[in-house]
Structure 1
Amino acid sequence: MYMKSIRSLILSSAVLIGTLSTADAETLVISSWAPPTHVLNAEAYPAFIKLLEEVTNGEVTAELKLGLAPPPAQADLVMDGAADITHIFHGYTPGRYPAAELAELPGYQGGAEALSGAYWRAYEKYLKDTGMHQEFKLLALVAHGPATLFSVDKVNDLAAIRGMKVRVPGGVGSEVMAELGATGIQVPANKVYETLSAKAADGVTLNIDARQGFNLNEVAPYMYEVPGGFYRGSFAILMNRAKWDSLSPEVQKAIDEKITGETLSRLWGKIWDESDSRVHDEIPADNLVSASTTDVEAFKAISDVVSQSVFAKVEAATGLDAMEVRDFIAEQTVAIESEK
């Protein structure tokens, strides 16, 4: 299968961060804003570094540095050359990457691996022509798994969200919560624990593994979920263009053929899927509420409203047929999911 050739790398690199293969390896600096134990830092970046060393025969490695800049400043950090590589969440910079919201819409039938692979295919077919991330070397596009609602008090139905103060991510997640009648509080994910501890919010929308990655079980122990999630989060893995250009043609070719694009997008998505699954299994049954059939239908109507709003924004900003792109992503997600 597509991911079989790199699955062993995930296992062998789960605790590896930046081990040099040779004494004179080119060492890239990776900036991450997530906590040290978050799955991206504990598993995804180490797997990427291991793969980087493998395909370049030890000529290139990387070291992971945390806390260099807040989440919304990561792209500028790499643009300025203060770091070589980072991942960004598109929702933290509203309006800067409008087409990214198409990957965030609720309703996709597949996990993070399938959606991330489909997202990259949509980039190649549609989004690249909009100039999305042209100022960087774009290494991957990733969409996390279904977003859920974590809450301080138990939420038993969709109607209970109305009037709640909910931390929202920006992008589609913010629009969905607004349509549900929640008051949105926008803070980056790494500030969620602090926000909930201070009782400044009643809940938070994030993907499932955030319960562990951001210690939400301590401050928002209850979870309310809808099939397919309230939204998906859109991320990009970016590299400084000048740093990329400084690598030898042979190294660039190896990275492009064996890492860049769908391979890395799906690798990160797969790691996230596995983390979501582990965390979901650990949630006490009394703390988990799944949407009723009535609520699923009600949320479908909300999703349609949000989707139409996003289509209009994307078309105005890019000229794309936004519904066509969304449908392509949906079709490719199902296709990839069926191949796994």
Structure 2
Amino acid sequence: MKLTQLMASAAIAVVAATASYAKENLIISSWLPPSHPINVDMLEGLIDMMEEATDGEVTGELKLGLAPPPAQMDLVMDGAADMTIIFHGYQPGRFVGTKLIELPGYEGSAEAASVAYWRVQEAFLDQLDEHRGVKLIGLSTHGPGQIHSNKAVTTLDELNGLKTRLGGGVSADVAAELGLIGIQVPAPKVYETLDSGAADGVAMNMGERTSFKLNEVAKNVYEIPGGFYRGSFAVLMSQEKFDALPESAQKALEDNVFGEPFSRMMGKAWDASDERARAETEAAEDNTIVTASEEDQAKFAEMAARVRDKILAEIEAAGIDAQAAHEMVKAEMAKESSM
């Protein structure tokens, strides 16, 4: 064989070897601000987990602003992105089972709740197939949702008539019990909505005080131990994209990243965010945190019970043993919290 032919054959072999070990770069869509924990800690953390599990064979790249929040799932189904995160409450009527984790009254961290959420998904909610068309790779809930307002609130009764931005889902049912006047805008619009006076308050977890600069436009926090509600998130992947990955990479991701490991990581990130924001709020001289009195906590417990009955009935009607699923969430959260 001539030298030129040998060199050509060697070059082809090198190219083939390089191609076989080429990284799979997954496009991950997000609608949150660049510095939000969902981007910085959760989705970037997902990339790190995937790279570690596959020895660098699978990586990812975050893309912001590809579509508005309610269109994220369709974005992945249409092939415009490989992965995304969605907030279930932004798509009324599309999800029912996901409201289970949003109910008021759960005790425990976002980490415990997120782990319990994934376990109850496998045990009960998979039957509903609400994420059909995509691959579900992680579930999470933020920490307890509280009321942040631009005027002082010291009692439960003072929430009646408060114009409040709501994210949807169970928060809307709780708001109806409280007498809040609901305003629906995506989370990235919260600052301007409060700053313009279009809303007096917002229902969010504590960590969003930092993420959306609520310390500037909602200087008062009225909190219920355990929260008024929680919020449900899912991270989704194109099933077609997953199926196209090498089998070894698929197995590594399924065994070490997707499901409970990733859900736990997201919950931890929510908890850390809440802790940082609480410390910042307590340190700000013009910010105030008021914890509901025992009397108001008892009053809200009655409201929460009505909300739970309503939502569990909806889930039951969808074909799930709602009470058993609810008990499982509480049991798994208690198990995680005791560890």
- TM-score (norm. length: structure 2): 0.91
- Distance (whole Å) between structure 1 residues aligned to residue 180 and residue 325 of structure 2: 29
Q: Could you tell me which amino acid in structure 2 is paired with residue 309 of structure 1?
A: K
2:337 maps to 1:337: yes
RMSD: 1.3
| Residue pairs, 1:1-340, within 5 angstroms | 24-284=22-282, 287-316=288-317, 318-339=318-339
Distance 2:139 2:99 in 1: 12
1:191, distance to aligned residue in structure 2 (A): 1.2
Instruction: From the CA coordinates, give the structure whose radius of gyration is larger.
Output: 2
- 1:103, 1:283 → 2: CA distance? 27
Deviations 1:130-179 (A, max 9, x none): 11213211101101100011100111111100011111111100110111
Q: In structure 1, how many angstroms separate the alpha carbons of the residues matched to 2:244 and 2:253?
A: 13
Structure 1 residue runs of 5 or longer lacking an equivalent are 1-21
Shift of 1:198: 1.6
Q: Which runs of 4+ in 1 moved over 4 A?
A: none
- Write the distance in 2 (CA, Å) between the matches of 1:199 and 1:49: 39
SS at match of 1:231: coil
- Shift in Å, 1:23: 8.4
**Per-residue deviation, 1:88:** 0.4
Amino acid at match of 2:168: G
CA deviation after TM superposition for structure 1 residue 27, in Å = 0.4
| One-letter code aligned to 2:321 | D
Deviation at 1:284, TM superposition (A): 2.9
Alpha-carbon separation, structure 2, partners of 1:40 and 1:77:
18
C-alpha distance in 1 between matches for 2:142 and 2:239: 25
* Alpha-carbon distance between aligned partners in 2 of 1:284 and 1:261, rounded to the nearest angstrom: 35
Amino acid at match of 1:259: V
How big is the shift at 1:119?
Answer: 0.4
Q: Distance in 2 between matches of 1:201 and 1:327?
A: 36
Contact kept? 2:21, 2:57, Cα under 8 Å: no
Q: Distance in 2 between matches of 1:182 and 1:271?
A: 29
Q: State the number of aligned residues.
A: 317
Displacement of 1:337 in angstroms is 1.2
Which amino acid counterpart does residue 330 of structure 1 have in structure 2? K
Partner secondary structure for residue 108 of structure 1? coil
Q: Distance in 1 between matches of 2:170 and 2:277?
A: 24
Q: Distance in 2 between matches of 1:220 and 1:180?
A: 19
Distance 1:283 1:253, change over 3 A: same
Q: Deviations over 1:81-134 (max 9, x none)?
A: 101101100000011110000100011111110000000000111011111213
**How far does residue 319 in structure 1 lie from its aligned partner after superposition?**
1.2
SS at structure 1 position matched to 2:338: helix
| TM-score, normalising length: structure 1 | 0.91
Aligned to 1:65, the other structure's residue is in SS state strand
Q: Any gaps of 5 or more consecutive residues in structure 2? A: 1-19
- Counterparts of 1:53 and 1:177, CA distance in 2: 42
Q: Return the alpha-carbon distance in structure 2 between the equivalents of residues 184 and 197 of structure 1.
A: 17
